Chain A
Amino acid sequence: MKSATAPLEKPQAKNNYVKRLAADVKRDWDLYALLVPGILFLLLFKYAPMYGITIAFKDFNIFDGYDASPWVGWKHFAKLFNSPDFLHVFQNTVIISFLKIGILFPLPILIALLLNEIRRMLFKRAIQTVIYLPHFLSWVIVSGLFIDMLSSNGGLVNKAMGMIGMEPISFFLDNSVFRGVLITSAGWKETGWSTIVYLAAFATIDPGLYEAAKIDGAGRMKQLWHITLPGIAPIILLMFILRLGSILEAGTEQILVMYNPTVYKVSDVIGTYVYRMGLGNQDYSFTTAVGVFESVIAFTLVLAGNALSRKYLQRGIW
């Protein structure tokens, strides 16, 4: 009997699935309809460029188009790994990214912890209002502000340095300090805003834990170490994995408005290189290969970060 009914069940199940699907679509047809513009948008503006990646494997010529340009296999990737230019740019990208993660990732956590210790609500809110503000300014404006503050002719920073007897520095023209300018300005712009997520996370910690800790005689430092930090650990992890995805991004929009040929040596990163060589020199296939390299590494890092965190910390972002 069993063997006789088994083959019968399958088509029936399939039938049922189709029926259920049809019933669902019929019931919620308007939900599906709402989704149509979004899906079309994705296909056109997000997935179509992914198809465009094929030109990294072709000798693309804009007049021939995608289909007529000849396939050349891994040629452009081979060129990429043998290009001293690319290796240099890759090195810059990694250095700037690591400096940014190393310094700018923990900073908002620290600021949020300190801000959380402030009991005067009015003061706290005023500080929050002020430190969120730079996030809402464009890189063009932040760059303008920094050029102004750091200029060697009447810039406030050089003046202050002069007062304590230091020589003026041309921050934007000096290879030894320019990366510092990039990191400081990125910190100035985004640190305050990045605290918002951690401040939110504090609110989700059960106040009862603090009460209990106080009764047990735990001081502020102990409460911080044993309650607050473990309480926000999942958020820290989440933010870190998300950050991994942009590890090779290094701040293209920022660097494009701040750098100049004098400091290309220390600040030309993958994104700026792709912009200059790709759109400037119209070296489409090669720079697409460079872009693909960046995307693949970033994607792998996020997947790996998530997998590792699930394995060792039993938590992931999906």
Chain B
Amino acid sequence: MTVKTSFSEKLFNFCNYLFFILVGLTTLLPFVNLIAKSFSSEAAVISGKVNLLPIGFQTGTYMYVLKDSMFLNSLKNSILLAIVGTALGLFLTTITAYPLSRVQLRGRKWFLLMFIFTMLFSGGLIPTYLLMHNLGLVNQFPVLFLPAAINVFNMLIIKNYFEGLPDGLEESAKLDGASNIRILFSIVLPLSLPVLATIALFFAVAFWNDYFTSMIYITNQDFKPLQLYLKELLVSSSSEFLKDNVDAALNTTPQSIQAASILLATLPILMVYPFLQKYFVKGVLVGSVKG
């Protein structure tokens, strides 16, 4: 009896491990394929021979992309957007979350309801577009980060985290005569680094990845962020957009250029992600699951 159970458990475990290895491969193989294509020669890519390893190794594709002024300009816009957007978003979201986490705040319920309502109901695309138009924000860089500066979901995560901090710290600070703002900045915030790091990562990723906002509001080439540039690059795939531009001597193809651009756009996320992982797992847990 026990032997039988342990055999079926062993079989289950084996299948389970195998399953997750397959899931892992399914997630990673598209990247491996893309890397291979970005380093492969024109002939190998066009004939569709490249699988998981580069064929006819070359680095000309990357040279091309990294010299392309449109790519570089959109990259610069995205970096600026991620930095400014994250800083403003984190600041505004935190100073809003703090009062809402204080039980003594009169009218707290109503304020909260006002925020949560906007998660459930919105004016929709067209009224929002017309508002931006009326505010004169269309085709202006701030339209990319201003309307997204307070994210109610992120605000609730921070608020829940603040609520979980021990009350005693604050009370003793209050007895010493510290103001609420003083308490926030010198006691609460230093204790909240995990959740702040998480939310900063969420903001940065959201701004880095957003193509929709820029597609709606930005037509000016100078302000286009990386994702919009990439989208146009992918849609125009084998069209004139690239064919005219690619120098034949570089030994590369539109497909390789797309591959290299996608990888370069993903690189910043791949670089910060492993370091922040332990924070965001912890941060999300504390913030979203309250039993």
Contact = CB atoms under 8 A, between A and B. Distances in A.
B180 interface: yes
Given A28-B104, A31-B102, A143-B234, A46 B118 contact: yes
A195 B50 CA distance: 33
Contacts of B291: 204
B153 to A, nearest CB: 10
Contacts of B265: 138, 141
Given A49-B122, A133-B27, A274-B124, A42 B105 contact: no
B10 interface: no
Interface stretch (B65-73, B163-171, B240-248, B281-289): B281-289
Interface string A147-173: 111000111100100000000000000
Nearest to A17: B106
Interface in A26-50: 28, 30-32, 34-35, 37-39, 41-42, 45-50
A278 B126 contact: yes
Interface string B239-262: 000000000000000010011001
A139 interface: yes
A201 interface: yes
Given A30-B180, A141-B262, A47 B26 contact: no
A37 B92 contact: yes
Interface residues of B, number: 93
Given A28-B102, A145-B34, A35 B120 contact: no
A196 B277 CA distance: 12
Contacts of A51: 123, 127
A118 B146 CA distance: 44
Interface stretch (B16-24, B56-64, B79-87, B189-197): B16-24
Given A37-B95, A220-B12, A295-B123, 10 more contacts: A25-B106, A42-B150, A51-B127, A140-B227, A140-B230, A141-B227, A253-B211, A274-B125, A279-B125, A284-B130
Interface of B: 5, 9, 12-13, 16-17, 19-20, 23-24, 26-31, 33-34, 37, 45, 47-51, 92, 95-96, 98-100, 102, 104-106, 111, 114-116, 118-131, 133, 146-147, 149-150, 155, 179-181, 184, 205, 208-212, 215-216, 227, 230-231, 234, 237, 255, 258-259, 262, 265-266, 269-270, 273-274, 277, 281, 284-285, 288-289, 291
